[in-house]
Homo-oligomer: A and B are copies of this chain.
């Protein structure tokens, strides 16, 4: 089985690749090769793996080759994670359209060419999981944002990023209806705790207020402690993508996107969990410093999400934010102990 992961060098994509390699199989079939398409080279551990092939460059530029490859047999499965993020799309409208809309369309058309070619008559259309986002939801005068957004809440994107994700959900659905692909869209929650550095995204602090104190650094908290948000750990997020891939179409249910499980947690609960797991000294490194701009952005985000369809696939959120912090600590202990130098 040959699998394509777009955005495969990114945080979620690389973790998905590692998980798939460790499993060795997907949907009951042995994984022979994983192609990581990304504008950046993959992490060293993945680059060194015999079953991994890296293709570095913009996805849009890679799609012509993907199309030819598809006509020769192509991929047995695709996880389409590549995306310009929210802040990039707001700063550069053209970049967002190109990276998120044009690239997805080109990828879907490359997969459609396989179905159209007829050389694989009888072969099932390529199964594809598209990583959409909770960012499709937002408030609108015509549709107030519910406290908890459900699978079937009316999307009202407040960013170009959310708009592109929603549009791609519907492209995936229509290419699926036509039989060109077997597509499924899963809306990711805010993935936390992300390793690395603050990235300037308005949501960056959701990871920063845990990651920086554990590394012995101060972290700014720009919003009120009663801000609530739907989050998911990296592990549960990857588990969700795989489960959506492996689901039968009947179990997936229709063609519309589903929400992945969310732990709906307040900032106060996140801080309490940090204190419980890592102690008061670590917790004390979080410094409230209200930022009206960030608070204003966050006020347009859902305070929580439900995921009934994902639950039907056996997916559940973490039981507590403490578990999410412990997962991050375990990951760091294995790969990057310096990230924990702030712990006693």
User: From A180, which residue of chain B is reached at the shortest CB distance?
Assistant: B93
* A157-B170, A174-B157 known; A152-B143 Cβ under 8 A: yes
**A286: CB under 8 A from chain B?**
no
Encoded as 1 (CB less than 8 Å from any B CB) or 0, chain A from 242 to 256 comes to 000000000001111
Interface-facing stretch out of A120-128, A160-168, A322-330: A160-168
A134-179 at interface with B (beta carbon < 8 Å)? 140-143, 151-154, 156-158, 160, 163, 166-167, 170-171, 173-174, 177-178
Question: What's the Cα separation between A309 and B140 when bound, in Å?
Answer: 13
**A258: CB under 8 A from chain B?**
yes
Question: What's the Cα separation between A254 and B254 when bound, in Å?
Answer: 29
Contact of A173 among B105, B157, B170, B178 (CB under 8 A): B157
Please give the distance in Å from A6's CB to the nearest CB on chain B. Answer: 20
Tell me which residues across on chain B come within 8 A of A309, comparing CB atoms. Answer: 142
Encoded as 1 (CB less than 8 Å from any B CB) or 0, chain A from 182 to 210 comes to 00000000000000000000000000000
Looking at A140, A174, A253, the one whose CB has the most chain B CB atoms below 10 A away is A174
Contact of A160 among B93, B112, B166, B178 (CB under 8 A): B178
Please give the distance in Å from A210's CB to the nearest CB on chain B. Answer: 32
Contact status B141-A253, CB under 8 Å: yes
Question: What's the Cα separation between A105 and B164 when bound, in Å?
Answer: 13
Looking at A142, A177, A255, A258, the one whose CB has the most chain B CB atoms below 10 A away is A142
Question: What's the Cα separation between A154 and B170 when bound, in Å?
Answer: 12
Question: What's the Cα separation between A69 and B167 when bound, in Å?
Answer: 29
Please give the distance in Å from A175's CB to the nearest CB on chain B. Answer: 9
Question: What's the Cα separation between A110 and B152 when bound, in Å?
Answer: 34
Contact of A142 among B112, B166, B180, B253 (CB under 8 A): B253
User: From A142, which residue of chain B is reached at the shortest CB distance?
Assistant: B254
Contact status B255-A93, CB under 8 Å: no
Contact of A143 among B166, B174, B177, B254 (CB under 8 A): B254
Tell me which residues across on chain B come within 8 A of A160, comparing CB atoms. Answer: 174, 178
User: From A140, which residue of chain B is reached at the shortest CB distance?
Assistant: B254
User: From A151, which residue of chain B is reached at the shortest CB distance?
Assistant: B142
Question: What's the Cα separation between A215 and B116 when bound, in Å?
Answer: 44
Looking at A141, A143, A177, the one whose CB has the most chain B CB atoms below 10 A away is A141
Contact status B157-A167, CB under 8 Å: no
Tell me which residues across on chain B come within 8 A of A256, comparing CB atoms. Answer: 140, 142-143, 154, 156
User: From A308, which residue of chain B is reached at the shortest CB distance?
Assistant: B142
User: From A136, which residue of chain B is reached at the shortest CB distance?
Assistant: B170
Tell me which residues across on chain B come within 8 A of A177, comparing CB atoms. Answer: 158
Tell me which residues across on chain B come within 8 A of A178, comparing CB atoms. Answer: 93, 160
Contact status A154-B157, CB under 8 Å: no
User: From A167, which residue of chain B is reached at the shortest CB distance?
Assistant: B167
Contact status B173-A163, CB under 8 Å: yes
Q: A142-B151, A142-B253, A142-B309 are in contact. List 8 more A-B contacts (CB 8 A).
A: A93-B178, A140-B254, A141-B253, A142-B152, A143-B152, A154-B256, A156-B255, A160-B178
CB<8 Å pairs between A and B, sample of 17:
A93-B112, A97-B105, A140-B255, A140-B256, A141-B253, A142-B253, A142-B258, A143-B152, A143-B256, A156-B254, A156-B255, A156-B256, A157-B170, A158-B177, A160-B174, A163-B170, A167-B170
